Copies of this chain bind each other. A is one copy, B any other.
């Protein structure tokens, strides 16, 4: 059999190596030299796949979005409704070294995306897919009466994701927020505020 190099597979492995470096030492530590040490591949081979440092970072961003999608899919296979919703939101918080790496690479490219079309496209695709996933879970929770059926599921999803991103950002920046969130994850409280009990009183007062 001829030797077949699976280029996509190798790109993914390199991207995982980049994420590992980011988890351990942050985005600034991503260099071809460090990556060569981490993956065992010579710099020349790495350069064959990635010409510039920026390409390494973009590959890590794409890989992080891919990993996030895979995990969210797995969570919504085993869970439903409000449980799935909470799990899918918590999944994106920087609660362990792997998710810290993911949050760091996203934060790096959120800042870049303000001026960079290529980064913005990947970031927007990630956000839109995440919103669709969360919207589906909100709709499921509405069907079984866990969330007020009158609320717009897309609005609820967009708001929960905004909250989640802000919380993740503050967890990265502030050790106090990090330890508070790890000790007692705050997302469920916010999801519960969308429950029928609250909205019934709201609907009554709106009548």
Residues of A within 8 A of B (CB): 26-28, 104, 107-108, 110-111, 113-115, 120, 123-124, 127, 155, 158-159, 161-167, 169-170, 172-174, 177, 180, 186, 189-190, 192-194, 197-198, 201-202, 205
CB-CB under 8 A from A193, the residues of chain B are 193-194, 198
CB-CB under 8 A from A27, the residues of chain B are 114-115
Residue of B nearest to A159 (CB): B186
Docked pose: A120 CA to B107 CA in angstroms: 14
Residue of B nearest to A205 (CB): B197
| A161 close to B155 (CB less than 8 A) | no
Docked pose: A107 CA to B107 CA in angstroms: 8
Number of copies of chain A assembled together? 2
Chain A's interface: helix, strand, loop or mixed, by majority? helix
Docked pose: A163 CA to B160 CA in angstroms: 8
With contacts A107-B114, A197-B202 taken as known, whether A166 is within 8 angstroms of B162 at the C-beta atoms is: yes
| B158 close to A170 (CB less than 8 A) | yes
Docked pose: A26 CA to B114 CA in angstroms: 8
| B169 close to A165 (CB less than 8 A) | yes
CB-CB under 8 A from A123, the residues of chain B are 173
Residue of B nearest to A192 (CB): B202
Residue of B nearest to A116 (CB): B28
CB-CB under 8 A from A26, the residues of chain B are 114-115
CB-CB under 8 A from A28, the residues of chain B are 115
